[in-house]
């Protein structure tokens, strides 16, 4: 971590809308920036991620290189996730509210919301649900009900958040656990995971009951690189979104 990046990161944490996300958590993160090993990581393309100080690796905020908030998470006192929100490539905020719903196909579920402006939890419309996750010990990729109800890019943003949390926890591989492992889902997963390189026929293996290991490989998402343009990058540019159209 290049300490020269910390003053810029600290200035982002001072913004009122960022402090309002989790006043105690963000204040503790700001104080910890002076530590010998501050709880911040930097991505290849300039993404900065801040974590709650202390044991474990609980992500609090993620910014792109221009200081745009990309994701925010709030954790409860018992260590469980209270809520999470992430910004889609199209500019919508979607959020996760853990264990607030059920589904006939898999039981306990986390609800997905369309959120208002970035800031404290501001649910506007319930969109769909996915199988509940233990966010402290992630070990599978969940099925999502009614993906068509999501705004464009929301599924990718949610999957990337899960992939990022898995990487934080050192999860080396995980499998999709749910019905209908389709070619469309396979393609969506490729934006935030890599399939097991030892498998010669990954799509066929995946569609045969999801029996394919996925390696977390989250991308960096940068907004407003030009008017109306967002970019996803890993080793290179993976996707460009212009006015809602992906290239």
**What pLDDT does 165 receive?**
98
Q: Rounded CA gap, 161 and 85, in Å?
A: 9
Residue 87 burial (C-beta neighbours within 10 Å; 0-12, 13-18, 19+): buried
Confidence of residue 243 (pLDDT cuts 50, 70, 90): confident
Give the rounded percent of residues in the chain with a pLDDT score beyond 90: 89
DSSP code for 135: T
pLDDT at residue 21 is higher than 90: yes
More confident residue, 90 or 170: 170
pLDDT at residue 158 is higher than 90: yes
Helix residue ranges per DSSP H, 14-153: 16-19, 23-32
pLDDT at residue 139 is higher than 80: yes
Angle (CA) 84-89-93 rounded to 5° is 35
- Reported residue count of the chain is 247
pLDDT at residue 118 is higher than 80: no
Task: Name which of 189, 167, 220 is nearest 59 in CA terms.
Answer: 167
Q: Are strands 69-75 and 59-63 parallel, antiparallel or unpaired?
A: antiparallel
Q: Rounded CA gap, 124 and 150, in Å?
A: 13
**What pLDDT does 175 receive?**
97
pLDDT, mean of residues 219-239 = 92
More confident residue, 225 or 189: 189
**What pLDDT does 61 receive?**
98
**What pLDDT does 56 receive?**
82
pLDDT, mean of residues 6-35 = 97
Strands of the chain, DSSP E? 40-42, 48-51, 59-63, 69-75, 81-87, 93-103, 107-115, 123-131, 140-141, 175-176, 193-195, 214-216, 220-226, 229-233, 237-242, 245-246
Helix residue ranges per DSSP H, the chain: 6-13, 16-19, 23-32, 154-168, 183-189, 202-207
pLDDT, mean of residues 77-105 = 95
Averaged pLDDT of the chain: 95
48-85 burial: b if 16+ Cβ within 10 Å, else e: bbbbbbeeebbbbbbbbbeebbbbbbbbeeeeebbbbb
Condensed to tens digits (0 to 9), the pLDDT of residues 24-46 reads 999 999 999 999 999 999 999 99
Provide the 10 A C-beta neighbour count for residue 119.
17
| Domain chopping of the chain, boundaries | 3-246
pLDDT at residue 119 is higher than 80: no
């Amino acid at each position: 971590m290049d300490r020269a990046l910390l003053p810029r990161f600290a200035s982002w944490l001072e913004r009122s809308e960022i402090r309002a996300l989790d006043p105690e958590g963000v204040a503790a993160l700001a104080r910890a920036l002076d530590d010998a090993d501050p709880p911040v990581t930097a991505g290849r393309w300039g993404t900065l991620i801040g974590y709650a100080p202390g044991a474990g690796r609980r992500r609090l905020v993620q910014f792109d290189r221009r200081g745009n908030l990309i994701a925010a998470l709030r954790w409860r006192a018992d260590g469980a996730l209270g809520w999470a929100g992430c910004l889609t490539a199209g500019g919508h905020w979607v959020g996760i509210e853990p264990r607030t719903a059920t589904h006939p196909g898999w039981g306990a579920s986390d609800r997905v919301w369309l959120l208002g402006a970035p800031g404290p939890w501001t649910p506007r419309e319930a969109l769909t649900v996915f199988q509940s996750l233990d966010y402290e010990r992630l070990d599978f990729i969940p099925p999502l009900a009614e993906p068509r109800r999501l705004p464009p890019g929301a599924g990718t943003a949610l999957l990337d958040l899960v992939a990022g949390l898995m990487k934080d926890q050192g999860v080396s591989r995980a499998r999709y656990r749910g019905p209908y492992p389709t070619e469309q889902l396979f393609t969506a997963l490729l934006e935030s995971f890599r399939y097991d390189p030892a498998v010669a026929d990954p799509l066929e293996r995946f569609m045969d009951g999801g029996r394919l290991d996925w390696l977390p490989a989250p991308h960096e998402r940068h907004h407003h690189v030009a008017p109306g343009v967002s970019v996803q990058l890993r080793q290179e540019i993976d996707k460009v979104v212009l006015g809602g159209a992906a290239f």
